[in-house]
A and B are shown apart, each in its own frame.
Chain A
Amino acid sequence: GDSVTQMEGPVTLSEEAFLTINCTYTATGYPSLFWYVQYPGEGLQLLLKATKADDKGSNKGFEATYRKETTSFHLEKGSVQVSDSAVYFCALPSSGGSYIPTFGRGTSLIVHP
């Protein structure tokens, strides 16, 4: 079945540092790929997505490129801010007739001033 593997956290960085959160997936076919973000005390919200191979999703300075050959969708940001402190989830939407998405376990990011 489908699966998503994310790097374990917490990831602790200083402000303005470069961020990478790794995500790899196993899926049937070539699904869309998503990154969601969960700020403290809130629900998840969509950060960015890519719908096909080689697409790059971007939002709020974050980017992720859909790599079919490595089945990866790593999240990057060139210069993190304290306000980026949150939990980040990589996700596969439903596939194979099921409408139940698959989420990674989440990676906590802590950014210090």
Chain B
Amino acid sequence: GAGVSQSPSNKVTEKGKDVELRCDPISGHTALYWYRQSLGQGLEFLIYFQGNSAPDKSGLPSDRFSAERTGGSVSTLTIQRTQQEDSAVYLCASSLITSGSGDTQYFGPGTRLTVL
């Protein structure tokens, strides 16, 4: 079946512009995560959506970052007034949350954002 897809795969923008990154999770997965991966760094958690609950935004680095998830499916991460330090790969992951002791995350290929 289809995996997690992200678009665009690459985005080059100028400092100060707004960008939108899209994530299509696996159908039926109730949980959706956004992460940021800077060059040579690990994963930085940004935001988490679960069903119709309020999202956990505790990882968003500033108020320039926001995200929404429409209809419990597609999600959009928006970065306003981009800065050069926003340059990174943005990864989306989805999972099927169960009551068990650990759920596998399924990752998309990422969007590589370059801010000039």
Contact = CB atoms under 8 A, between A and B. Distances in A.
B104 A51 contact: no
A73 interface: no
Contact of A93 (B58, B59, B91, B103): B103
A93 B42 CA distance: 16
B31 A99 contact: yes
Contacts, number: 61
B102 A100 contact: no
B48 A43 contact: no
A31 B101 contact: yes
B109 A42 contact: yes
Interface residues of A, number: 25
B104 A100 contact: no
A67 B59 CA distance: 30
Contact of B109 (A41, A98, A99, A101): A41
A104 B58 CA distance: 19
Given A99-B50, A99-B97, A105-B42, A43 B4 contact: yes
Contact of B48 (A32, A33, A100): A100
B107 A51 contact: no
B102 A31 contact: yes
Contacts of A32: 101-102
Interface of B: 4, 31, 33, 41-43, 45, 48, 50, 56, 58-59, 91, 93, 97, 101-110
Interface of A: 31-34, 36, 41-46, 49, 51-52, 89, 93-94, 98-101, 103-106
